Chain A
Amino acid sequence: MPNYFFIQSQDPYTDRVTDDQFLLMSQLAGEGKEVSLFLTQNGVVPAAFQAESPMFDKLLDQKIKIYADKFSLEQREIAETELKRNIESAEIHVVVQAMLAGDKVIWN
Chain B
Amino acid sequence: MELGEDMNEKTTLTFAFMDPPFESERTITFFRLLDSALDHGANIHVFAYEGAVALGFNKQQAHGNGMHNRDTEEENHPLTKDWISALRNKADSLQLEFNWVNCGLCVDERGVLESVHECKRGSPADFWQCAAASINTLAIGTR
| CB of B48, distance to nearest CB on chain A (Å) | 15
Q: Give which listed residue, A9, A10, A96, contacts B29 with CB less than 8 A.
A: A9
Chain A residues positioned under 8 Å from B141 (CB to CB): 107
What sequence of 0s and 1s flags, for each residue 74-95 of chain A, a beta carbon within 8 Å of any chain B beta carbon? 0000000000000000011101
Chain A residues positioned under 8 Å from B32 (CB to CB): 71, 92
Number of interface residues of B (CB under 8 A): 21
Tell me what chain B mostly uses at the interface: helix, strand, loop, or mixed: mixed
A93-B36, A93-B40 are contacts. A100–B138 as well, Cβ < 8 Å? no
Closest to A10 in B: B143
Q: List the count of A-B residue pairs having beta carbons below 8 Å apart.
A: 56
Binding site for B on A (CB under 8 A): 7, 9-10, 15, 40-42, 71, 91-93, 95-97, 99-103, 105, 107
A-B contact pairs, 24 of them (CB 8 A): A7-B138, A9-B25, A9-B26, A40-B29, A41-B25, A41-B26, A41-B29, A92-B32, A92-B36, A93-B39, A95-B138, A96-B13, A96-B36, A96-B40, A96-B42, A97-B1, A99-B13, A99-B37, A99-B135, A100-B1, A100-B42, A100-B136, A103-B136, A107-B141
